[in-house]
Chains A and B, each alone.
Chain A
Amino acid sequence: MNSMVDVLVIGGGVAGMEAAGQLARSGYSVILAEKEPLTGGHLKNWYHLFPDRRDGNEVGEYLDNLVKNKNIEIRNNTCITGITGRKGKFTATASDGQVVEAEAVIVATGFDLFDSRRKEEYGYGIYPNVITSADLEKMFRNGSVKLADGGVPARIGFIHCVGSRDEKVGNLYCSKLCCITAVKQAMEVHEKISGVKTFCFYMDMRMGGAYYEEIYREAQEKYGVSFIRGKVSEVSQGYNGRLVIKAEDTLAGRPLRMELDMVVLMAGMEMSDAGEILAGKSSLRRGENRFFSTADNHTASNRSNMKGVFYAGTCTAPMNITESISHARAAVTEVVSYLREKKQRDE
C-alpha cells in the first residue's frame, strides 16, 4: 500500500488524535497510524481524571469525534518503525511492511508506564496485592477494589516515585503526574470502600497544576488521607499474608513499619518502546532522559532535529492530558506554517 498525504501522525493517543483532528479540520489530509487495534492510548485505561475527577471517557469521546473526519485515515495495528526523507517528502515504513508517504510528520508516540517489576524490592509480580496505579484504575473501571483473594482492603499504601526520580533505574526525572494521581486515587478508594485507611509515602508532594493543591487539601480534610514523608525501601509479606512496608518517617526521624492490605505503586512515565524503535531507525535525537529532544526547550518545543518532523505530547517529556492537548495544538500550528511556506516555495 502506497499513499501520499499531507501529514502522517504517528501514535493515536491523546496528542496524536488531537493533532490529527485539528489538522483535518483545517483541511489537511492525514494518516493516523496507531500500533494498537484501537486509538485512545493510555486514556482508554483511565477511570477518572484529575483534578476535577471527571470521567475519562468524556475526553475519549471528544477525541473520537474529533478524528471522525473524512480527511483522516486511521490505520490501526500499524507500528511505524522508521522515517526517512527530507524537505517535505518523508517515507515512513511500518513493521508490517506498509509504506506511507507524507509531506510532514508529527511524532506522537507517547510514553510507556515504567515496568514496576524492575523495582524488585517492592514485590510487584511477586506479591499479588502489590499493584500499580494503572491496575487500580482498571479496578475502578470494573467497579470494585478487591484484594487478590476477593477480600476488601482495609489499609492501602501508595508509594510515590516508582521508576521516576530514581538513579537506580536510570530515570532521573520527575513524571509530574503521579503525585496528583496518588491523591486522586486515594480519594477514590475512600469513595469505593468506606472506612478504608490510606497512606501516601512521598519524597516531595509535587502539586504544581491548576487545582492540584486544592484536591490535596480535600484529600486530607474530607477523606483523612495520611501523607508520610519518606520513601518506602521495601515491601514484604508477613506470616498473616499482609504486606509489610518499611520506610523512614523522616519528619519524625524514626523508622516506620506498617502492615497494609494493598500497596499501589505510582509507576512513572518512560520513553515508549515504539518511540525507541523509531529513534533507532531515524535520525531523531533523544535527550538524556531518553525522550525525544526538542529543538528548543522554550520556543520550539514541537520541532525536532529533522525539518518537517514535529513532536506532540509525552514523547518529549511527561505531561498531563491538558498539556498533551495544548502541545498537540501547538504542533499543528507549526505543521500548518511549515506546509504553507513549503507550498509558497514550490510555486
Chain B
Amino acid sequence: MKDFDIFVLPFNTGLYFILIYCVVRCVIWFRQLSRADKLRLQRGFFGRAFGQSLKEIFMESLIHRRILKSKPVLGYMHMSLAFGWFLLILFGTIEADIFGAKHLNPPYRAIFFRFFNPDHGTTGLTRIWSFWMDLLLAFILSGLLLAVIKRFIPGVVGMKKTTRHKPADRIALTALWLIFPSRLLAESFTCGAHGSGSFLTGTTGAWLASFLPAETLAYPFWWLYSLSLGVFFILLPVTRYMHIPTELFLIFMRNSGISTGDKTGTFSEVQIHSCSSCGMCIDACQMNFVTGIRYMQPVYLHRSIRNDEDITEIAHDCLMCGRCEEVCPVGIEISAVRMIQRRNKTGEPLVKNNWMGYFRNRNNVGSEKSDTGQVYNLRNGREVKQADVIYFAGCMTHLTPGIKEAMMKIFRASGEKVWFMDEEGGACCGRPLMLAGNDREARELINYNSEIIRKSGAKTLVTSCPICYNVFRDSYYLEAEVMHHTEYLKHLIDDGNLRFNYSGRKVVYHDPCELGRIAGIYDAPREVLSWVADLHEIPEREEKGLCCGGSLGNLILNPSKKAAIASDAVKRLTRNNPEMIVTSCPLCKKTFSQVSHVKVSDIAEVTADEIAAVQVRKPRRPASVSLKVMVKQLLE
C-alpha cells in the first residue's frame, strides 16, 4: 500500500495556502478593529457568544436555514454543497483514521482515501461506512446538479435572476464544479478496477470497468480531483467564494456585539466579503421586480466594492427601503454598508485591492477636508413658545395639509398644550442630507432644530413624518421623548384621553419603510387603526412591507420610475378591494395618491374623523396619570 503519490501535491499546496491565508487575514482584520471592538470580540470568543456563534454557523453556514425557509430548492442546493461537503470531510477523516494504515493522517489521506485504500469497504462495518460515504457524495452531487441548472435556468430554484461573474470567479466556479464529478469518476474507476465501492461508486465503477480500462483511467481523474481542489483553494481569496471562510468570522464578530458603525473598517469589510452572491436581495428589491433596474442591489454593490470599481452611482441609486436586508441570509447590515459608501465624497474607493486582490488596504487619499464654514448660516431669530408637547410636522407634511389639520384636531381633543414648531415652515430635520451622505451639513440643521426644541421646554416631541422621527430619535440629543404620531395616538388611547367611533370601513395598512423596517414600529398603528376601522392585512406587511417608491433615500431614480413602483405597490395593497389605503407617512401618502384610484389617508386623518364626542374610558395607566385624566374630566 502506498503512502504518498505525487498527484496530491496540488491539493496539499492549496490547502496549506488557504489555511495560512485565512489565519493571516483574520489577524490583519483583528488588528484593524477599534479597541472597543477588539475587547468585544475577545469577550465574545471566550464567553457565551461562542456557543451562540457555533450554533449559528451550523444553522446558517451549513444548513442554510434562512434560505431553506424562504426558497426551499435554493436552500437545498446551498445545504447539500456546504453541509454535504462538511460531512464528507468529517466522515472521510474519521474513515481514514479508523480504517487507514495509521492514525492521525495528513489531510490528503482522508480526501483521497479510496486511492490509498482501493480495496476498502467490502466487508462488515466498512461496507456500511462505504455506503454512507457514497450517500454523502450523492447528496452533494444532487446539489451540484441544481447549481448547474440554476446557472442556465434560474427560475427552477425559485430565483428570478442570477448574478453575473468576473473571470476569476468563473475559473473558481469551474474548479468547484469539477471537484465532485472528478471525485466520483476517480473513485468509481478505482472501485471498478478493485471490485469495491458501494451503491454509487461501486455500481458506476463496475459499469465503467465493463468497457473501459478502469485501472489506467483512474489515475488521471485522481489528478483532476486534486487539481480542482488546489485551484479552488488558491483562487478562493480573490473570488466570491471567500464568503465561505469570512462568514464564520462575521458570525463571531456579530455575536460579540460588533456593528457596522459609520466608517469603513474591519466589520464592513468582512460583511462585504461575506456576501455569498446568493441573489436573494435582487428578488426582494422593488427596483428590480418593478422597474427592471438591476445593477445597484447589494450583491452588485458588494462585488463592485471588492473589485475597486466606481460605485458612486450604485451607492446612491437605492431606495434605502431595507427590504433586501430583511431577506439577506448572511445577515449583512446592508444599509449601513451602503451609507458608508455614500459618505465617501472622494470619488475613490475607500479600500483598495493589493497583491492582486489577495489583500486590501485602506485607501488614504483625500479624506474629506474639514471645511469649517457654515453652509446654511441659519439664524436663531425665531420666536420659541413654551409647551408640553411640541409638534414638528416635517417638510413633507406641508404638502399634505390633510394630515396637518387632522393632527390639530387630535391635539385639540387631547387637551394638551401643544406648540406647532414648523407651522410656517421650518428647517429640514437633516435626515435627507444624512441619507445622501452629507453628515456635516445635516449637523447644522440638527443643531439649529435642537436649540429650538430645547428652548421650548417640551417633554414630548411629536412628528408626523417617520423620516424626521428616525433622525430625531437617533441623531439628536434631546431631552424630550420623540414620538411618531402613531405612537402618540396609541398613548392618548392608552391613557384614556381619546376615544373613537368605530367606522367599520374596510382598510388596508401600508407600513412605511421608515416607520416599519427602520424604526421598528409595527404594532402601534395597527392597534390604533383597529379602534376605528376594519383592518385587512396583505402578505406584504411589516418586515415584508413595500416601499412606496417615493423614498428620499434615492437621489437618482426619476419620477416616472418612482410612480411605477408606487402603482405596483398600490395594486398589491388593493388586491382585496379595500375602501381605503391607510399609511402613516406624508411621503407615502403623497406618492400613492398620485397613482391610486383608491383613497389614500394617513392614520391621523382616519382617526381624527372618528374622535368621539364623549371622552370617557376607564384609564389603564398608573394612578398618577388617571388622576390627571379625572381632573381633566371634572373640569370639562
Contact = CB atoms under 8 A, between A and B. Distances in A.
Q: Are these two chains actual partners, yes or no?
A: yes
Interface of A: 118, 120-121, 123, 126-127, 167-170, 233-237
Nearest to B404: A236
B593 A120 contact: yes
Contacts of B402: 120, 126
B398 A126 contact: no
Interface string B394-416: 00001111101100000000000
Given A236-B401, A236-B404, A167 B593 contact: no
Contacts of B398: 121, 234, 236
5 smallest CB-CB distances across A and B, nearest first, come from A121-B399, A123-B401, A126-B401, A120-B400, A126-B402
B220 interface: no
A118 B401 contact: no
A289 B400 CA distance: 26
B559 A126 contact: no
Contact of B559 (A118, A127, A167, A233): A167
A313 B260 CA distance: 64
Contacts of A168: 594
A169 B594 contact: yes
Interface of B: 398-402, 404-405, 559, 590, 593-595
Contacts of A237: 401
A28 to B, nearest CB: 39
Contacts of B594: 118, 168-170
B404 A121 contact: no
Contact of B400 (A121, A169, A235): A121
Contacts of A126: 401-402, 405
Contacts of B404: 236
Nearest to A257: B424
Contacts of A235: 401
B401 A121 contact: yes
Nearest to B596: A118
A168 B559 CA distance: 9
A169 B597 CA distance: 12
Contacts of A169: 594
B393 to A, nearest CB: 10
B559 A120 contact: no
A229 to B, nearest CB: 22
Please indicate which of the listed interface residues A126, A169, A170, A233 has the most CB atoms of chain B within 10 Å of its own CB: A126
B399 A234 contact: yes
A169 B402 CA distance: 18
B211 to A, nearest CB: 67
B401 A234 contact: yes
B566 to A, nearest CB: 12
A168 B594 CA distance: 6
Nearest to A236: B401
A127 B593 contact: no
A169 B595 CA distance: 8
Contacts of B400: 120-121
B611 to A, nearest CB: 17
Contacts of A121: 398-401
A245 B559 CA distance: 25
A240 to B, nearest CB: 13
Given A126-B405, A167-B559, A118 B593 contact: yes
Contacts of B593: 118, 120
B568 to A, nearest CB: 16
28 contacts: A118-B594, A120-B399, A120-B400, A120-B401, A120-B402, A120-B590, A120-B593, A121-B398, A121-B399, A121-B400, A121-B401, A123-B401, A126-B401, A126-B402, A126-B405, A127-B401, A168-B594, A169-B594, A170-B595, A233-B399, A234-B398, A234-B399, A234-B401, A235-B401, A236-B398, A236-B401, A236-B404, A237-B401
A170 B400 CA distance: 18
A120 B405 CA distance: 12
Nearest to B599: A117
A162 to B, nearest CB: 14
A187 B398 CA distance: 32
Nearest to B560: A167
A169 B590 CA distance: 11
A233 B425 CA distance: 13
B414 to A, nearest CB: 19
A235 B405 CA distance: 12
A127 B405 CA distance: 9
Contacts of A120: 399-402, 590, 593
A138 to B, nearest CB: 24
A234 B593 CA distance: 16
A300 B609 CA distance: 51
B110 to A, nearest CB: 67
Contacts of B595: 170
Contacts of A236: 398, 401, 404
A315 B601 CA distance: 31
A332 to B, nearest CB: 36
Nearest to B605: A126
A341 B404 CA distance: 63
Please indicate which of the listed interface residues B400, B401, B405 has the most CB atoms of chain A within 10 Å of its own CB: B401
Nearest to B405: A126
Contacts of A127: 401
Nearest to A167: B559
A286 to B, nearest CB: 17
A255 to B, nearest CB: 10
Given A120-B400, A170-B594, A236-B401, 4 more contacts: A118-B593, A121-B398, A126-B401, A170-B595
B35 to A, nearest CB: 51
A234 B595 CA distance: 20
Contacts of B559: 167
Nearest to B425: A246
A304 to B, nearest CB: 26
Contacts of A170: 594-595
B373 to A, nearest CB: 24
A137 B595 CA distance: 29
Nearest to B563: A170
A231 to B, nearest CB: 14
B304 to A, nearest CB: 33
Nearest to B589: A120
A95 B402 CA distance: 35
A197 B559 CA distance: 37
A50 to B, nearest CB: 31
Nearest to B398: A234
A154 B251 CA distance: 70
A244 B221 CA distance: 83
A9 to B, nearest CB: 29
A169 B596 CA distance: 10
A170 B594 CA distance: 8
Nearest to B586: A120
A121 B404 CA distance: 11
A242 to B, nearest CB: 13
Contacts of A167: 559
A120 B605 CA distance: 13
Contacts of B590: 120
A236 B595 CA distance: 24
Nearest to B400: A120
B329 to A, nearest CB: 39
A194 B402 CA distance: 33
A168 B591 CA distance: 9
B590 to A, nearest CB: 7
A304 B297 CA distance: 46
A248 to B, nearest CB: 14
A118 B398 CA distance: 15
A109 to B, nearest CB: 19
Nearest to B408: A237
A127 B404 CA distance: 12
B118 to A, nearest CB: 75
A181 B249 CA distance: 71
A32 B404 CA distance: 47
A292 B559 CA distance: 26
A81 B399 CA distance: 37
A114 B398 CA distance: 22
Contacts of B399: 120-121, 233-234
